[in-house]
Every structure is written in C-alpha cells, then in structure tokens.
Amino acid sequence: MDLFIKILFLVVFFAIMIGVGIYCRKQATDVNGFVLGNRSVGPWLTAFAFGTSYFSAVIFVGYAGQFGWRFGLASTWIGLGNAFIGSLLAWNILGRRTRVMTQHLDSATMPDFFAKRYNSKSLKIVASIIIFIFLIPYTASLYNGLSRLFEMAFHIPYAYCVIGMAVLTGIYVVLGGYMATAINDFIQGIIMLVGIIAVIAAVLQQNGGLTESIAKLSATSTTTSSGTVMNGAYTSFFGPDIISLIGVVILTSLGTWGLPQMVQKFYAIKSEKSISTGTIVSTIFAIIVAGGCYFLGGFGRLFGQPGPDGKPQGGFDNVIPSMLENLSPILIGIVVVLVLSASMSTLSSLVLTSSSVLTIDFIDPVFCRKKAMTEKKKVLWMRIFIIFFIVVSALIAIVQANSPVLFISQMMGVSWGALAGAFLAPFLYGLYMKRVPKAAVWINFVIGIGISVASFIFNLTGVKFDNAVLEYFKSPINAGMLAMLLGLVLTPIITLIAPAKDKERTDQIFACYNKKVTVSSKISIDEEETPEVITPSAQKNNTVKKSTGKSGKSKNKKRK
C-alpha cells in the first residue's frame, strides 16, 4: 500500500506534465513562440518560472545539506539572500530594462544581446560556446539530488530514475517549448511551496518541535581553524564561519543576474504590470522555498554523525535524505514529487536555453552564412539539441554516480561561477551604461572563465596554498564570487579609459527607454496668436504657457 501511494503520486505528476506539453504544442511553431512564448507570458507564470529555475534538487538536497551542516541555522541567510538579492533586486534592476531593450534589439538569447548591444558577432559566438560548455555539467548535476531519495523511497536503481526524468522532461519541452515549460513550472512551483512547508513541520516534529530542535542543536559545539571552541555556534545569528557564509550568499544570490537561463525569463514578460506582480510573487516564492530549504538544512547535525574529517558520514548529500527516511509514505511521496519538480523545472530551463543558444548563436551564424535558416528549421534544430543535451547530461550523471570521482558535483560550483563571472557585468552595465566598450566584455569573459577554471584545477589536483587569502579563493564558490566582483569593479574603470566609440548607434539603442513624442495643439480663433513661452517647469509637466491678446493673462493648456 505504501509503495502504491508513492507510485500514484508519480503517475499523476507525469500525466499532467505531458498533457501540458501537448496542450502548448501549437504555440511553439516559430523561434519567438518556442523560445519566448511570443513574449506574452503573464506575471505569475514568469515569476514561478524564474523561481523554479533558480531552485533545483541541487539546492534542496546538496546545498541545503552541505551549508546547513557547515553554518547551522545561519544558512537561512543564504535563502534570504536568494530572495532579496537574487529575486527582488534582480526583478527591479533587470526586469523592465531587459524586456524593453531585448525587444528593441530583437534579441532572443544572451549571446545575441551581446552581439547587437556591443556590435560584435565574435562576442555572440564565444558567449554561445561558454554557455554550451558550462551548462552541460550544470545540467548533469541536477540528477544527483534524486539518487538517494529514489533509492530510499522506491529501492530502484538510480539509472532508471535518471532515464525516466530525462524522457519525461524531453517530451514536454520538445512539444511545447517555453510556454509548456512556464506552465509546468507554475504547477511544479505550487508543489514545491506546499511540499517544503509540510516537510519542515514533519522533520522538526521528530525532535519535539521547533523549540526542542533548536535546544538540541545549541548543544552542538564546533572548533574554529584557530582552535577556539564555539558552543552554540550552529544556532547563532551568523554561524561559525561568517566570511565563508558571505561568499555563498553573494555567489548564489548575485550570480543569478548573470545566468542566461535566469535572465531569459525577463525576455518573455508580457507587460509593465507583469513586472510589478512578478517581483512580489517571485520574492515570496524564494523566501518560502529557498529560506525553507536552508532553514531545514540547518538542523542537519541532529540527524547525522560527523566523520573523522568533520564532514557527515555518507557525505553532504546524505544529510537531507537522513532527515526524511522516517517520514510517512504520503510525506515521502510529496518529497519525491517536490524534488522531481525542482529538478525538472531547472532541467527544462537549462536545456531550452542551451539548445536555443547553440542553434541561434552558433550553428546559424557559423554554418549558414550564405543562407540563413528558416524559422521552421531553427525550431527543428532546437528540438534536436534539446534531446542531445538531455541524453548527454543523463549519461554523465549515470557514469558519475557509479564512479568515485566527484567531478560533476565540483563542476556545479565552477559552472555557476564561470557563467556569472563572465556575463554579469557586461549584461548589467550593457542595460544601463552607453559607453561600455566591447573590450570590457572580452575582459569579463577571460576573468570569469579563467578564475573559475583555475579554482577547479587547484581543487582537482589538491594544491595547498600557504597564503590564507589564496586558500580562501581556491573554493569554487569563493572564486565565482571574486570573478563577479572583479567584473563589476573593472568594467566601469575600463569604460573610463577606453569608452565605446559608436555613440550614435548606442544612442539609438538606448532610445528605447525614452521615446520622444511630438504633439500638436489647436488655438482658439478669438485668441491673438503669440509665440509660445516654454518654461522648464512647464516643459517638465508637459504643459505650454501662452499669453492672450485680450486680457494679458496667462493660462496653461495641456498638450493632448
């Protein structure tokens, strides 16, 4: 009976996902429809698509377990940073400008934006290669969060779970494109909201509720790198390692501003009102889901035992599953669907972004120079590449799961840092500053990729630094933070030294934000026509001050 309940949850879930894909297939006949949903996606769908793409199974199982173990309840700050920096500020600072400028430039992808904003086809091709390389390991890492949960719930091999998830995601994304992804993200987001609240309540109840759980956690002590013993550190405001905590908050929050699969959600916003609504909805969603995940992970030490190296026995990925193994079959069923929802929503966003970038920004300009692809052919190639990305990432995930090498889990942080480090500053300043030269974009590409790859190599080879600062930035998370901050600081400096030269073209691009409209007005025949006197205040209020011949009095006429 227990197994029947869990399977029933999955069958209903799968049926809904495929049904949505079939329903949306008619809207995915051209590039605009397949990639952007014809730029007509409402605020709720956009907000949930943003949130579900942001928070995957890697967050729920991997990061929540790892950072909850390291920082205790202070890891909740990561979730709050994701909500207020990664969602609220992202929508306010990037949302409207991204939507307006990308439509003005007729841009559907981030590499295409770089090409048209900075007038460089080379930037477009290189950016598409960077996305292609670093999104594949990111995509493969999504499957990792499922292995222990499915083995715990169903006792079936991990490979079958990966294949099932890959096939299902491929069906609805290939059929319905972005609109199917957005609708399914909304459904999956509702599941995530309900699921995380139910799971937190059930897990804490195992230790007597919230108060008792905090009391037990406060009895756990830790030793700092300098040898100082800290009592109650895992229930303190900033945890046992505030410096590392800040690095995680910056990378996982500010980093979303430069991730192509996240920014592309703004391209499809329907209207001005949608931005205001979407901002509120996505922020609340992030507070509940991200804040809830990291808050739950903060109690990880109550369910696991530290090994000789201080890490949990069975690894960080075992922290969250150990919390859930004693829950009721219904709750475990909800958790499985929750993790599936988190994984599939992010997976669909990543493969759609990868396939569209590879087709529009690499295959078409490089291999179809004489005759550009038709809309129908582009959509066909995107569907082929979606299948390609899903198959490759699934194979990598299966091979990695049976290998002692933690290559993919390490590459997750590297992928995030490389993409955000390379793209954040050029994209952000490209929306706000006219004078940014293409040289600044190239430098950001080099910094983002160079620092992240160097960090990966140092960790893979086990290099140790005597310098504490170098050792700190050897971490993929801290390296990604460094790459982003360097880009944000260096880009304005480069702009002052070598500003962009094509001022007229840039002015035309930025004209999309403030369009001037000329309006005519009629004058009454009983008035003596006199020259208009336009004062600064009248011009600001869109009024014209006129003097009349009869009375000599002035009156304001609003321009129609």
C-beta atoms surrounding 533 within 10 Å: 11
15-72, pLDDT tens digit by residue?
A: 888 888 888 777 777 777 787 777 777 788 888 888 888 887 777 777 888 888 888 8
- Looking at per-residue pLDDT, the higher value among 28 and 199 belongs to 199
Kindly report, as residue ranges, where domains of CATH 1.20.1730.10 are found in the chain. 2-24+40-402
Regarding predicted confidence, which is higher, 295 or 13? Answer: 295
pLDDT in tens, 284-293: 999 999 999 8
Residue 416: is its pLDDT beyond 60?
Answer: yes
Q: Please give the helix or strand (H or E) that residue 543 lies within, else none.
A: strand 543-547
Over residues 362-408, the pLDDT tens digits come to: 887 776 666 777 878 888 888 888 888 888 888 877 777 666 555 44
Encoded tokens for 46: 């956009």
Lowest mean pLDDT among 163-167, 427-431, 514-518: 514-518
Read off the pLDDT of each residue in 270-280 and give the average, rounded to a whole number: 82
**pLDDT value at residue 46:** 82
The total number of residues written for the chain in this structure: 560
pLDDT per position as a tens digit, 62-94: 788 888 888 889 999 999 999 999 999 999 999
Return the percentage of the chain with pLDDT > 70, whole number.
83
Considering the chain, what is the average pLDDT of its residues?
Answer: 79
Nearest CA-CA partner of 318 in 332, 338, 297: 297
Higher pLDDT, 265 or 521: 265
One-letter amino acid for residue 331 of the chain:
L
Q: What mean pLDDT comes out for the span 217-246? A: 78
- pTM to 2 decimals? 0.80
Query: H/E element holding 107?
Result: none
CB neighbour burial string for 69-104, b if at least 16 within 10 angstroms, e if fewer: bbbbbbbbbbbbbbbebbbbbbbeebbbbbbbbbee
Four-residue CA torsion sign, 497, 95, 54, 37: negative
Taking the C-alpha atoms of residue 125 and residue 129, their distance in angstroms, rounded to an integer, is: 6
CATH code matching the domain that covers 2-24+40-402, chosen among 1.20.1730.10, 3.40.50.620, 1.10.760.10, 3.40.640.10: 1.20.1730.10
- How many C-beta atoms lie closer than 10 Å to residue 496's C-beta? 8
In this structure, which amino acid lies at residue 170?
G
- Chain position carrying tokens 């990925």: 317
Rg (C-alpha) for the chain, rounded Å, is 26
